[in-house]
Amino acid sequence: MKIVTPHYYKDFKCIAGACTDTCCAGWDVDVDDKSYRYYKTVDGNFGKRLKSVMVPEKEGGCTFTLQNGRCPFLNDNNLCDLYIALGEDKLCDTCAEFPRFINEYGSVKEIGIAPSCKTAGEIIFNYDKVLTFDEEEDGKPLTGYNDIDGFLYMQLRNARKCAYDIIQNKKYTPDEVCLILIEYAIRIQKHMDDERDDLIANVVKSFKDEKILDKIIADAKKKKTCDSFRGFKDIGRFFEKFNGMEVINPDWLKYCDIQEKFMKSCHDGSLYEKYVIEFEEYYNDRQFEYRQLLMYYIYRYFLDAVYDINIVLKVKNAIIGYAALRHLDVAAWAANGKKLSKTEQVDIAHLYSRQFEHSYTNFEKYSEKFMSMRCYGYSSLRRMMV
């Protein structure tokens, strides 16, 4: 297998009890079948403790019964009793991998870290260089082959490289990058829908021309001036409490309330836009953080369009993730007397990532809303960008 990782990946290490958060609370712990089979063989008092909290799943494996919203093995020092009793190599896949994610495409395995972990978030948002990716072979035989369209995969991989270049081009602000990515996804999606994957290369070639990118931005900004109030109203709908949505961390609701009060204080789109522009001036030296967030989303999700033929949804993940975080940052900044620390910004990002990415229920619900609600539509997303 060829292993691909962002250059900062090697810097991640769990800080365990020194962490101000815990990854062992707020969500169910899904135990893979191999670990479940082993846990059933553990003897003694710890084996009895294991068996008392394991709930078998029909598909294999099990879940641990939570206690007051916490993993039953999370002790009072926020350390893992299972790790202490059995060793690191006996952790189930969920616990051993978090906050890492792994995507496989044929003989390529892409690994990264998610901002849902504060330590990972600090690494991502502190990386102020152009992001590159490290590649190596693990020397092990392939674990299996994905049933993917090889030609489409190569087209999308080249398209993703172009998206990386757009995101990291400092000529364009993060908002302008999003305007470009919206149009980029629309054009690629059209060829995928028409089953003309060979034409994706033409889109990629055209989006390497800065004159074309400049025109996309200019056209989008002309349309935006016609109706900024609707963009103001739409972004508030990002934080609606959709039916069936899980709340992974109660602090998420705290920031939802902060943004709601902020939106009410703005009254209309022009005042909100004034705040955003002022915040961007305040945050000017840290705009690279938003570029790294966009890079994270494109790296993690873009190539998954090879499975569901929905590149628009993958790009929306990135744009909406950026828009939501920037909006919450502005609201918190205003509430704090126009100040925002790096610590709070990382905390907000970790709350959104957990809410959006780390609940199967929420992820499916958000994906459905992204493709159906007007506030997540192309026109609305364009209006939100300054």
* pLDDT tens for each residue of 252-271: 999 999 999 999 998 877 88
Claim to verify: residue 75 and residue 156 sit in the same structural domain: no
Question: What's the confidence (pLDDT) of residue 67?
Answer: 86
- Residue 222 belongs to some domain of the structure: yes
| Number of compact structural domains in the chain | 2
Of 82, 97, 112, the one marking the end of a domain is 97
Whether residue 125 is contained in a domain is answered as no
Do 168 and 284 have their domain in common? Answer: yes
pLDDT category of residue 160 using cuts at 50, 70 and 90: very high
Instruction: Tell me whether residue 165 is in a domain.
Output: yes
What is the span of the domain harbouring residue 41? 24-97
In contact, 13 and 129? CB cutoff 8 Å: no
| Distance from C-alpha of 331 to C-alpha of 320, rounded to nearest angstrom | 16
Same domain, 90 and 155: no
Q: 178 and 246 share a domain?
A: yes
Q: Are residues 161 and 256 in the same domain?
A: yes
Q: What is the pLDDT of residue 98?
A: 86
| Residue 36 domain flag | yes
Q: Which residue has the tokens 């007397």?
A: 337
For residues 178 and 303, membership in a common domain is answered with: yes
Domain end marker among 81, 97, 113: 97
Q: Which residues of 239-252 are buried (b: 16+ CB within 10 A; e: fewer)?
A: beeeeeeeebbebb
Q: What is the pLDDT of residue 287?
A: 95
For residues 266, 268, 274 and 277, what is the CA-based torsion angle, rounded to 10 degrees?
100
Tell whether 110 is covered by a domain: no
Identify whether residues 367 and 219 lie together within a single domain. Answer: yes
51 and 160 share a domain?
A: no
Task: Provide the whole-model pTM.
Answer: 0.90
pLDDT band (50, 70, 90) for residue 385 = confident
Q: Enumerate the β-bridge partners of residue 112.
A: 101
**Co-location of 82 and 200 in the same domain:** no
Q: Which of 231-235, 292-296, 365-369 shows the lowest per-residue confidence on average (mean pLDDT)?
A: 231-235
| Of 40, 357, 311, 28, the residue nearest 187 (C-alpha) | 311
Lowest mean pLDDT across 77-86, 159-168, 201-210: 77-86
* Residue 180 counted as domain residue: yes
Report whether pLDDT(228) > 80: no
Is the same domain home to 356 and 261?
yes
Q: Assess if residue 241 is contained within a domain.
A: yes
Question: Where a domain ends, among 97, 116, 140?
Answer: 97
Confidence grade of residue 56 (pLDDT, cut at 50, 70, 90):
very high
The yes-or-no verdict on residue 110 having pLDDT over 80 is yes
Strand partners, 109: 3, 104
